[in-house]
Structure 1
């Protein structure tokens, strides 16, 4: 009898095991899945669905069609998000074209644009919720709202009423709600026109228009009041809640700022002009707005309801939660700034619940909580709000027990350093002097790691508080190279090696704790080919500009470095976007002496036409006009050089601007008037009070004084002779 053919070895066994496991997997797929049993009709009997623990997915049951039909009908009885329907292909194509036309904004005048917007509103009537929830058309709704007048905004607001609980949680509709709140805020003080409501053709629309925008905002609060605790940490709703809080308080809502707590940095900025932009020119976006009296009580009730059902432990956990922290920042800001710092004395206030011990002594819960937030990338932002707005007595205790002795080490950290900035802004002269002495030993490390924002703010505050900056100037001089030529390039971060842009945030915190390990790794990774990031160059330029504003050793450190540069290097700096700002400040600031400008300005000769056609260099050429006001012979040489390249400058947009700023047409046609303007003798009527008279020269003033003395002497002699 023949033997059964078998394979020997481990490979054969593994292959057999794989075939068995594959066969078992196929059998499992072919087996019918267990269905969820429907609940019994008996009220007393409830059967919970049995889900497999750790399952990758939960299969739909036979009721899937019923649920989908309920979604399409907008049935909210089951607690799920309603489905408002989808736009058909023709509607989606029309709204897509309308979106492109609004984005291009190529209308002849405002009237034509308003007619187009009104036609889009008519086409979108009854489809507003579909558009707001559409991925492709929600941007159109945002653009429409941003370019609408008060009547159109009230119409959209009325369509959204009753659906805000679901819209604010929607990925796309939440942005529409946010834009609606921002553009409805300026019109909350306007009263509703009843005549317009009667003229409305649609009865439903006329009923909605009877409500003022202020009443609509109160209706929104009523819709959301039962869900504050959940919405605080909801991914999309939290942005809208912040906007709603600021609008109720009358605070400015600026989503374009990168430091704004309203929107994240990834927020898309539409940048479209509003319909009432011409009417609201006098109201800057950073100014507070008037709100109805009902908003005050509504805001107070809303803030109390938000934190009433939250215990202190969960409230402190929000401080480090990426989504809940910004909302907590707005709540704390409004509590301390809008309702007054006296509200912090209330035991139920947000500040007292976060930090119950106002003394901040070592070992207290408040001190432990604050120290834990200082190095947290999310929680440190809440500490910034506390430091900036908390009452003076509480701030002094916080600074004395938690920041003062550690301000040097805190300034080294990339996260805690921002808390140091807010702290320096509130310190008095004596405390600021003490803080500067503690930060001075850390200056070499800050310069090496490009942590330049702390020295910049420290110099600014010392100038405001009249603190002597000589010790700080010596520390900066020791931190940079002794050679002035190399020192300027180090200040502006032009050729220094740095790997800060490639390090992760966690690595920075680890290296902050141990400076030696940081230096070792930096020396290993930095090489001749490593480049400096644009942010480092910007911070280096800002620090150098602040040093120029400080009279004494700080500005002399920069001026001496500029004089040590060759003309070729100066021209290179003038063409650099960040370093050209330094040259402009060095030429125009009050700390710039006549001796410095007399030596520095001639280095631009022979390169004016080249600089005038450069985006950054043209600003330097413009700065040479006021800089040479007291060295007329140098200004005349520069003007002659510009006149020699007239055709080249006129062919360039930037060159024409320089030609106009230097009054070169006047230089060619009426040289005498140009000389008077160049010497500052002739001024515009706006600067001379509208008289148009030129100021008197020193010689004329001396003649008047001599004539006055002669007249006085003659008057004294006349009575004596009589």
Structure 2
């Protein structure tokens, strides 16, 4: 009897499984469906049949099932799954090289650079959306926008129109949109240029990409608003879109767009800074001053703000205060409501401030007081309280301070999160309230010094100087918090004794073939130590600005330092600023400078060649204007080492700032300049440099020549 033809091995098993899966699927199609089906039209039915026949392939490795959630997402206006295509290998390599060249910035002149940028634009024509969504080339788009003129920005803007809803939600393209908004903002008031030379129809057909956009930048911004108008509530908490939305709101309001500051509400600290030469200048300009905007922007901005929060109830709106993504947008909305539309808008029951804090009395036990106290210790929510304290009306702020902060300001200053709210509060307090706040913070000074929480004492000193509050009690508290020995006190204040030595565990970890982790721990320790030194230096500089006991704490500590410690202070980047302030501030007395400046004799050349010490040497020039004999000794030391200083970039800067060429050639003029005496002709108070004898002789000769020429012309 012949044997049955059978296949052995995994192939046979795989084929049997496929046939079984096919039979199960056919039975499923014939069985009645228990799932509610979406109603469709006749036109949709044909399309569904075609899609079903293509999707359910018997050889497919994965067959998706449509869930109700997926059907709801499909019903949304844009699911964010738009795909513009990928760059091929040659295009990606070209744009990568172009990005490296722009970052290197090794162009002969500005014209060559502009020609290169224009050539990149021509190569990128038609591929702008691909580049913006590319992980490797989106940075190139940001660099191009940063270096573009108004015409090129309008061209890029026109390419993005119609796709902003997807682009602002894209991981890489959202940064391009943010950069585009920032650099387009200064030119929104510019008029649309008229098309100059109209080309023929054949040229337009062959080169459509060079056609000038018809819309102005203001109209383009309005188009962006139109594209996003039905999605504000969703974009409010979208991970990537929220950054771009914050920039758009500030641009529409004409407010500064600060993306450089570490305290910026626009961009997070993790945002990559391109650092291009000249690319950040526009950002810095736009971040320091307000701009004028078209009249159409104000009503559009108000409508956007209303649409964002109109569909949210008060509970969800308060939940945004502690939302990591929604909180920065809420800060911008609250800032614009109180500053751009006036603080009187806070009286509106539907305003954001009144919805967040409906009870303006902030009395104990109210819902508003509970909400604010919960945010004070929240790392995210405390930033919203800072915005409130800065911009809320004076009457509301007084109620907030009286019922929630005044009695607890000492304990709040100890907390690493609530302490920042204390800083903003100190900035708004009057003289009497500031005096009371200082008395409440003084008992906490030893703990703040021990934990290196120096920012609260520093800001308190600065505000006391502005409000003319007596700082003697605070000076006594600082003196008791630090060591009694003046020399030790300054080292403790500036953290000069901090060492970055590794613990045995860290050393064993590094020896156990884990160098990367050990390096990461060392860098973290160094950053913490640097931050502590910086805050100590800023506190000492603030103390120096106050005449009396508070400033004397630092001045006496500087005089108690030996020469080697003074040199160490001058070479530390943070502590050298303390020396510069001590030498140049109005609170620095002649007696102090006479004793302190002599410590630098014999070390002028060494400090002049140091990056931090050279700034101290420059400060010695103004510090010795009334003690000429010390300045002369220091200048002689520089003159004896002229060649050494000229061989160094830092040394040449010191040589120029001390006018050493004048010292070697015209000692009399140098002495007058060193003493701060400007040589002027009698009766001349203009401060203009007097003319030399050669210049006066040249003028007399020119006058004689002019007279001779006039006489010859008259004789003819």
Superposition TM-score tier, normalisation by shorter sequence = 0.7 to 0.9
Contact 1:249/1:299, CA 8 A, preserved across alignment:
yes
> How far is 1:60 from its partner?
4.3
Query: Equivalent residue for 2:344?
Result: 342
> How far is 1:679 from its partner?
1.4
Query: 220, 225, 249: which one pairs with 2:224?
Result: 220
> How far is 1:201 from its partner?
3.2
- Bigger mean CA offset, 392-401 vs 629-638: 629-638
Query: 543, 547, 565: which one pairs with 1:547?
Result: 543
Query: Equivalent residue for 2:438?
Result: 436
The 1:608–1:198 alpha-carbon spacing in structure 2 relative to 1, beyond 3 Å, is same
Q: Aligned partners of 1:133, 1:531: CA distance in 2, in Å?
A: 35
Structure 1 residue runs without a partner (length 5+): 1-26, 48-57, 65-74, 500-528, 695-722
The 1:257–1:59 alpha-carbon spacing in structure 2 relative to 1, beyond 3 Å, is farther
Query: Equivalent residue for 2:504?
Result: none
Q: Aligned partners of 1:110, 1:611: CA distance in 2, in Å?
A: 37
- Secondary structure of the structure 2 residue equivalent to 1:369: helix
1:134-213 correspondence to structure 2 within 5 Å:
134-196=134-196, 198-199=198-199, 201=204, 209-213=213-217
- Secondary structure of the structure 1 residue equivalent to 2:416: coil
> How far is 1:285 from its partner?
3.4
> How far is 1:332 from its partner?
0.4
Contact 2:80/2:169, CA 8 A, preserved across alignment:
no
The 1:647–1:275 alpha-carbon spacing in structure 2 relative to 1, beyond 3 Å, is closer
Query: 233, 236, 254: which one pairs with 1:232?
Result: 236
Query: Equivalent residue for 2:623?
Result: 627
Q: Aligned partners of 1:530, 1:652: CA distance in 2, in Å?
A: 29
- Bigger mean CA offset, 577-586 vs 660-669: 660-669
TM-score, normalised to structure 1, is: 0.80
Q: Aligned partners of 2:189, 2:264: CA distance in 1, in Å?
A: 25
Query: Equivalent residue for 1:594?
Result: 590
Contact 2:78/2:166, CA 8 A, preserved across alignment:
no
Contact 1:197/1:210, CA 8 A, preserved across alignment:
no
Question: Could you give the per-residue CA deviations for residues 164-194 of structure 1, whole angstroms, max 9, x where no partner exists?
Answer: 1111000111011111111111111111123
Query: Equivalent residue for 1:265?
Result: 269
Question: Could you give the per-residue CA deviations for residues 4-25 of structure 1, whole angstroms, max 9, x where no partner exists?
Answer: xxxxxxxxxxxxxxxxxxxxxx
Contact 1:494/1:532, CA 8 A, preserved across alignment:
no
Q: Aligned partners of 1:581, 1:617: CA distance in 2, in Å?
A: 10
Question: Could you give the per-residue CA deviations for residues 627-678 of structure 1, whole angstroms, max 9, x where no partner exists?
Answer: 1111111111111111111121111111111111111111111111111111
Question: Could you give the per-residue CA deviations for residues 90-123 of structure 1, whole angstroms, max 9, x where no partner exists?
Answer: 1111111111111112222222222221211111
Q: Aligned partners of 1:475, 1:542: CA distance in 2, in Å?
A: 18
Question: Could you give the per-residue CA deviations for residues 335-373 of structure 1, whole angstroms, max 9, x where no partner exists?
Answer: 001000000000000000000000000011110000000
The 1:411–1:41 alpha-carbon spacing in structure 2 relative to 1, beyond 3 Å, is closer
Query: Equivalent residue for 2:110?
Result: 110
TM-score, normalised to structure 2, is: 0.81
The 1:198–1:260 alpha-carbon spacing in structure 2 relative to 1, beyond 3 Å, is farther
The 1:478–1:497 alpha-carbon spacing in structure 2 relative to 1, beyond 3 Å, is farther
> How far is 1:150 from its partner?
1.1
The 1:406–1:166 alpha-carbon spacing in structure 2 relative to 1, beyond 3 Å, is same
Q: Aligned partners of 2:124, 2:111: CA distance in 1, in Å?
A: 20
The 1:601–1:691 alpha-carbon spacing in structure 2 relative to 1, beyond 3 Å, is same
Contact 1:197/1:209, CA 8 A, preserved across alignment:
no
Contact 2:195/2:212, CA 8 A, preserved across alignment:
no
Contact 2:105/2:277, CA 8 A, preserved across alignment:
no
Contact 1:254/1:286, CA 8 A, preserved across alignment:
yes
The 1:204–1:228 alpha-carbon spacing in structure 2 relative to 1, beyond 3 Å, is farther
Contact 2:78/2:165, CA 8 A, preserved across alignment:
no
Contact 1:498/1:532, CA 8 A, preserved across alignment:
no
> How far is 1:683 from its partner?
6.2
Q: Aligned partners of 2:204, 2:270: CA distance in 1, in Å?
A: 41
Query: 540, 559, 563: which one pairs with 2:559?
Result: 563
Contact 2:626/2:675, CA 8 A, preserved across alignment:
yes
Q: Aligned partners of 1:352, 1:362: CA distance in 2, in Å?
A: 18
The 1:197–1:179 alpha-carbon spacing in structure 2 relative to 1, beyond 3 Å, is farther
Q: Aligned partners of 1:684, 1:389: CA distance in 2, in Å?
A: 51
Query: 297, 310, 313: which one pairs with 2:312?
Result: 310
Q: Aligned partners of 2:327, 2:534: CA distance in 1, in Å?
A: 29
Contact 1:319/1:378, CA 8 A, preserved across alignment:
yes
> How far is 1:553 from its partner?
0.4
> How far is 1:496 from its partner?
5.1
Q: Aligned partners of 1:193, 1:154: CA distance in 2, in Å?
A: 11
Contact 1:197/1:207, CA 8 A, preserved across alignment:
no
Question: Could you give the per-residue CA deviations for residues 603-645 of structure 1, whole angstroms, max 9, x where no partner exists?
Answer: 1111111111011111111111111111111111111111111
Q: Aligned partners of 1:146, 1:658: CA distance in 2, in Å?
A: 36
- Bigger mean CA offset, 104-113 vs 334-343: 104-113
Q: Aligned partners of 1:332, 1:129: CA distance in 2, in Å?
A: 33
The 1:138–1:386 alpha-carbon spacing in structure 2 relative to 1, beyond 3 Å, is same
Query: Equivalent residue for 1:101?
Result: 101
> How far is 1:682 from its partner?
2.4
Query: Equivalent residue for 1:646?
Result: 642
> How far is 1:80 from its partner?
4.9
Structure 2 residue runs without a partner (length 5+): 1-15, 49-59, 67-74, 502-524, 692-716
Query: Equivalent residue for 1:123?
Result: 123
